[in-house]
Amino acid sequence: MIPPSIPTLAAAFRVASSFGGYGNAANTCVVAKGDPDSDDTLAIVAAFSACQNNSRIVFQENVTYNAYQPIQALGLNNVRIEINGNIQLSTNMTAIEGQVAKLTAKSLYGKSWFFFQGNQVSIHGSEDPNWGWFEGYGEQWWGLPSSAYRPRLATFNVNNGYIENLKHHSMIAWSWLVPNNNILIENHYSDNRPSNSTRDETRTFPFNTDGINAGGHNITVRGYFGYNGDDAVSIVAGAKDIHVSKAYAGFSSHGMSIGSLGKGGEFDYVENVLVEDVTMDGAVYGARFKSWTGGNGNAKNVTYRNFKLINVSIPIFITQNYYDQSVGKPNVTSTNSTGVIDFHFSNFHGTFNKNWTDGSCISNPCWNYVEGISEGDAIILDLYNRSATDITFCDINVSSPGVETSALCKPDVFDATDLENLGFTCADGPLTSTASCGTSTLTTDDASNPTSDVETETGATQSYVAPTNILSKSTNSISAMSNIFVIFATAVALF
């Protein structure tokens, strides 16, 4: 494989690593490499089996491994995984579909090619831009009808986990699912741009190439940079205490999203989310919430703030009418909807464009069409009556060349108090702000909760501080969260 070049811009979104990782270097397994074209799956599985506990697993430098069969690494405990080489899937689509069909464990949106399960597990990609890559050869899949046997790249079903410096190119579909608790992800890079298309002229579209699906508790993503054709970071059902910061999403991203929730009338919840310091470049959405018609449950205490928008289609989008365009709008008679509670949007700046869809549109009307949508809509609130409470907007300063900035909002869905506090005039017309963010004064609580130990090479232990669920209200009623991200002891030294 020939790794793609990482754009210079990505360096601006990197963060300093804040955790040394897990594992014990005294027990190290180096993954053997066969002939260049041979399947290395058995060697990879053997390394995980031999170094399942208190160990270090090393993928060698300057080596490309062929993972031609699905890999399950189960029962890991205090393990450090170093990906100093590259890992690639097969280009044989029929072979991959056949392997996926045999898998029994289904995760969100699909079955995973790599499945990691355990406690205290860290994965470290190489800092060399040419190494630490996963290559999916996904572009050959994108232009074909969707297959039920498209694999997700990986599920990281780990309690107390860390992922850093991983790089991804041309994923078949979804990348990483994180369904468990106490996870920190730093400097995550993903490039799913088709070679024959641009954002506005699409021949092949990278359907469902989500960057990260976060579904556990106490998950932090810092330093995300990606090009994709679906959600950059998607906060899915069951997620609680999620913090995403310093992120960039380009090509035709579908936003920093929550959902989808409530499919088939399911009772789903998402709670305590902070997404901040984000650049969206050419994306369909900036900040997005999506729930299915007839859904149950709620999403609450969500803050999106400090967004820079560059040629985005719709800066802020909330819908309770999400559906699968390949099936069509559901025939649902239920008046239920997933509640939208305590949502706050502040400091959105930049530009948006007139083209409110992209190459993912294969139906008429398009999957993201909303009755009454217009070219100038910067905020779309597609809501049911009295299903949304305590939603506020401030400092939404976005513009589209040659078009008046507008909003799509139905005032009769809100009660009088929520309508008054919304922060703009709710109407299907010009966006007229009625409130400014002012100066926020956040209060935090530095209480810590040490819960776990890390075994070092010498056999000693180091405690780390687990995430704390610290919520606060600023003086202008903008809900915020701080310090929910995982704070690890800087004194940890494994090697």
Catalytic residues: 230, 254
- DSSP assignment of 85-135 equals SEEE--S-HHHHHHHHHH---EETTEEEEEEEEEEEEEEEE-SSTTSSEEE
Q: Residue 427 is encoded by which pair of tokens?
A: 């109407």
Those residues whose C-beta lies under 8 Å from the C-beta of residue 258, and which sit 6 or more positions away, are: 234, 235, 270, 273, 288, 289, 290, 299, 302
Any idea which residue has 């990691």 for tokens? 116
What are the Cα distances from residue 454, in Å, to 77, 196, 205, 450? 10, 47, 43, 11
From CA 376, how far away is CA 143, in angstroms rounded? Answer: 31
From CA 423, how far away is CA 431, in angstroms rounded? Answer: 10
Any idea which residue has 């464009």 for tokens? 353
Q: How many residues does the chain have?
A: 495
Any idea which residue has 């009307």 for tokens? 365
- For residues 434 and 423, the answer to whether their CB atoms sit within 8 Å is yes
What is the three-state SS of 338-378?
A: CEEEEEEEEEEEEEECCCCCCCCCCCCCCCCCCCCCCCCEE
Ramachandran angles phi, psi of 391, nearest 5°: -105, 130
3-state secondary structure of 314: strand
- For residues 214 and 247, the answer to whether their CB atoms sit within 8 Å is no
From CA 349, how far away is CA 277, in angstroms rounded? Answer: 11
- DSSP assignment of 190-233 equals EE---TT--SSS-SS--BT--SEEE-SEEEEEEEEEEEEBS-SE
From CA 251, how far away is CA 129, in angstroms rounded? Answer: 20
Strand partners, 271: 240, 300
Those residues whose C-beta lies under 8 Å from the C-beta of residue 87, and which sit 6 or more positions away, are: 59, 64, 65, 67, 133, 134, 135
From CA 52, how far away is CA 26, in angstroms rounded? Answer: 13
At position 26, the amino acid (one-letter code) is: A
3-state secondary structure of 140: helix
Largest CA distance in the chain: 70
- Residue 94: CB atoms within 10 A of its CB come to 9
The single-letter DSSP state of residue 41 is H
